[in-house]
Amino acid sequence: MEKMNTNKYRQLLILRHGKANWEMKIDDIERPMTAAGVIEAKNIGHWLHNQALYPDIIISSTADRALATSRQVADVLCISSITQDARIYNASLAQLLVVLADIPAEYKRPMIVGHNPGFEELLLHLAKIGENYYKDGGLMSTGTVAVVNMPNDWRKLERQCGELVELARGGGL
Protein backbone atom coordinates (compact mmCIF):
# COMPACT_ATOMS: atom_id res chain seq x y z
CA MET A 1 0.00 0.00 0.00
CA GLU A 2 1.45 3.35 -1.03
CA LYS A 3 1.59 6.12 1.56
CA MET A 4 0.16 9.55 0.84
CA ASN A 5 2.27 12.66 1.34
CA THR A 6 0.38 15.27 3.34
CA ASN A 7 3.01 18.04 3.06
CA LYS A 8 1.66 21.49 2.29
CA TYR A 9 4.94 22.39 0.51
CA ARG A 10 7.09 20.48 -1.94
CA GLN A 11 10.06 18.52 -0.70
CA LEU A 12 12.82 16.82 -2.66
CA LEU A 13 14.63 13.65 -1.61
CA ILE A 14 18.05 13.34 -3.27
CA LEU A 15 19.52 9.84 -2.84
CA ARG A 16 22.97 8.85 -4.03
CA HIS A 17 23.21 5.17 -4.92
CA GLY A 18 24.76 2.63 -2.54
CA LYS A 19 28.46 1.75 -2.66
CA ALA A 20 29.44 0.40 -6.08
CA ASN A 21 31.71 -2.50 -7.00
CA TRP A 22 34.76 -1.03 -8.74
CA GLU A 23 36.64 -4.34 -9.01
CA MET A 24 34.66 -5.55 -12.00
CA LYS A 25 35.83 -4.63 -15.51
CA ILE A 26 32.45 -3.72 -17.02
CA ASP A 27 30.75 -0.65 -18.45
CA ASP A 28 30.14 1.88 -15.69
CA ILE A 29 26.36 1.90 -16.24
CA GLU A 30 26.32 -1.86 -15.46
CA ARG A 31 28.36 -1.52 -12.26
CA PRO A 32 26.49 -3.25 -9.38
CA MET A 33 26.36 -2.37 -5.71
CA THR A 34 28.49 -4.13 -3.15
CA ALA A 35 27.00 -5.89 -0.12
CA ALA A 36 27.78 -2.72 1.86
CA GLY A 37 25.84 -0.71 -0.72
CA VAL A 38 22.79 -2.94 -0.29
CA ILE A 39 22.95 -2.36 3.47
CA GLU A 40 23.25 1.42 2.92
CA ALA A 41 20.18 1.40 0.68
CA LYS A 42 18.10 -0.70 3.09
CA ASN A 43 19.17 1.53 6.00
CA ILE A 44 18.04 4.62 4.08
CA GLY A 45 14.69 2.93 3.37
CA HIS A 46 14.22 2.21 7.08
CA TRP A 47 15.31 5.72 8.02
CA LEU A 48 12.80 7.24 5.56
CA HIS A 49 10.09 4.97 6.99
CA ASN A 50 10.94 5.94 10.58
CA GLN A 51 10.83 9.63 9.63
CA ALA A 52 7.53 9.14 7.73
CA LEU A 53 9.22 10.51 4.60
CA TYR A 54 7.46 8.56 1.87
CA PRO A 55 8.25 9.66 -1.68
CA ASP A 56 5.23 9.84 -3.94
CA ILE A 57 7.44 8.99 -6.93
CA ILE A 58 10.93 7.47 -7.21
CA ILE A 59 12.86 8.61 -10.28
CA SER A 60 16.07 6.66 -10.80
CA SER A 61 19.08 6.81 -13.05
CA THR A 62 19.18 3.86 -15.41
CA ALA A 63 22.52 2.68 -14.00
CA ASP A 64 22.31 -0.75 -12.37
CA ARG A 65 23.54 0.46 -8.95
CA ALA A 66 21.01 3.32 -8.88
CA LEU A 67 18.15 1.02 -9.86
CA ALA A 68 19.22 -1.52 -7.23
CA THR A 69 19.32 1.25 -4.62
CA SER A 70 15.86 2.41 -5.71
CA ARG A 71 14.48 -1.13 -5.45
CA GLN A 72 15.87 -1.65 -1.94
CA VAL A 73 14.32 1.61 -0.72
CA ALA A 74 11.03 0.96 -2.54
CA ASP A 75 10.78 -2.53 -1.02
CA VAL A 76 11.22 -1.19 2.52
CA LEU A 77 8.65 1.55 1.91
CA CYS A 78 6.20 -0.75 0.08
CA ILE A 79 6.34 1.38 -3.07
CA SER A 80 5.46 -0.64 -6.14
CA SER A 81 6.96 1.33 -9.01
CA ILE A 82 10.14 3.12 -9.98
CA THR A 83 10.39 5.54 -12.87
CA GLN A 84 13.65 5.36 -14.82
CA ASP A 85 15.17 8.50 -16.32
CA ALA A 86 18.34 8.08 -18.41
CA ARG A 87 19.05 11.82 -18.09
CA ILE A 88 20.10 11.33 -14.43
CA TYR A 89 23.07 9.08 -15.29
CA ASN A 90 26.27 11.20 -15.33
CA ALA A 91 24.12 14.34 -15.27
CA SER A 92 25.51 17.82 -14.79
CA LEU A 93 23.83 20.37 -12.54
CA ALA A 94 22.12 21.92 -15.57
CA GLN A 95 20.77 18.54 -16.69
CA LEU A 96 19.49 17.73 -13.19
CA LEU A 97 17.68 21.08 -13.02
CA VAL A 98 15.89 20.13 -16.27
CA VAL A 99 14.93 16.74 -14.77
CA LEU A 100 13.49 18.50 -11.70
CA ALA A 101 11.62 21.04 -13.85
CA ASP A 102 9.93 18.14 -15.65
CA ILE A 103 8.53 16.57 -12.45
CA PRO A 104 4.80 17.31 -12.37
CA ALA A 105 3.70 19.61 -9.54
CA GLU A 106 1.25 16.92 -8.34
CA TYR A 107 4.24 15.13 -6.79
CA LYS A 108 4.84 16.81 -3.46
CA ARG A 109 7.80 14.62 -2.38
CA PRO A 110 9.65 13.08 -5.32
CA MET A 111 12.88 11.18 -4.77
CA ILE A 112 15.64 11.15 -7.37
CA VAL A 113 18.29 8.43 -7.22
CA GLY A 114 21.61 8.87 -8.94
CA HIS A 115 25.23 9.85 -8.85
CA ASN A 116 27.99 12.26 -7.91
CA PRO A 117 29.37 14.69 -8.76
CA GLY A 118 26.02 15.91 -10.12
CA PHE A 119 24.03 15.22 -6.96
CA GLU A 120 26.46 17.05 -4.71
CA GLU A 121 26.47 20.00 -7.13
CA LEU A 122 22.66 19.95 -7.14
CA LEU A 123 22.44 19.99 -3.35
CA LEU A 124 24.98 22.81 -3.10
CA HIS A 125 22.97 24.77 -5.69
CA LEU A 126 19.62 24.25 -3.97
CA ALA A 127 20.53 24.89 -0.34
CA LYS A 128 23.05 26.51 1.94
CA ILE A 129 25.04 23.70 3.54
CA GLY A 130 26.64 23.99 6.95
CA GLU A 131 30.08 22.49 7.64
CA ASN A 132 28.48 20.00 10.04
CA TYR A 133 26.98 18.10 7.08
CA TYR A 134 30.35 17.18 5.59
CA LYS A 135 32.01 13.86 6.39
CA ASP A 136 35.57 13.07 5.38
CA GLY A 137 35.52 16.10 3.08
CA GLY A 138 32.41 14.92 1.21
CA LEU A 139 28.75 15.75 1.33
CA MET A 140 26.89 13.13 -0.73
CA SER A 141 28.80 9.93 0.02
CA THR A 142 27.32 6.67 -1.26
CA GLY A 143 24.02 5.71 0.34
CA THR A 144 23.25 9.29 1.46
CA VAL A 145 19.86 10.97 1.24
CA ALA A 146 19.25 14.70 1.49
CA VAL A 147 15.82 16.06 2.41
CA VAL A 148 15.28 19.52 0.95
CA ASN A 149 12.28 21.82 1.41
CA MET A 150 11.64 23.39 -1.97
CA PRO A 151 9.62 26.18 -3.56
CA ASN A 152 6.43 25.07 -5.29
CA ASP A 153 7.56 26.00 -8.83
CA TRP A 154 10.55 23.94 -10.01
CA ARG A 155 10.78 25.36 -13.52
CA LYS A 156 13.44 27.86 -12.45
CA LEU A 157 15.34 26.92 -9.32
CA GLU A 158 17.51 29.80 -8.20
CA ARG A 159 20.64 29.26 -6.14
CA GLN A 160 19.78 28.42 -2.50
CA CYS A 161 16.03 28.50 -3.14
CA GLY A 162 15.61 25.44 -0.92
CA GLU A 163 16.42 24.49 2.64
CA LEU A 164 18.28 21.36 3.68
CA VAL A 165 16.18 19.74 6.40
CA GLU A 166 18.18 16.56 6.96
CA LEU A 167 21.07 14.55 5.59
CA ALA A 168 21.25 10.86 6.46
CA ARG A 169 24.00 8.42 5.55
CA GLY A 170 22.97 4.78 5.17
CA GLY A 171 26.38 3.56 6.28
CA GLY A 172 26.06 5.34 9.60
CA LEU A 173 22.51 4.38 10.56
Per-residue burial over 136-163, b = 16 or more CB atoms within 10 Å of its CB, e = otherwise: eeebbbbbbbbbbbbeeebeebeeebbe
| Residue pLDDT tens, the chain, 173 long | 344 455 567 999 999 999 998 888 889 899 999 999 999 999 999 999 999 999 999 999 999 999 999 999 999 999 999 999 999 999 999 999 999 999 999 999 999 999 999 999 999 999 999 888 888 778 999 999 999 999 999 999 999 999 999 999 998 76
Biggest CA–CA distance in the chain, Å, is 47
Q: Is residue 88 within 8 Å of 115, Cβ to Cβ?
A: yes
- DSSP bridge pairs for 166: 147
Residue 59's DSSP bridge partners are: 83, 112
Task: Determine whether domain 10-172 maps to CATH 3.40.50.1240.
Answer: yes
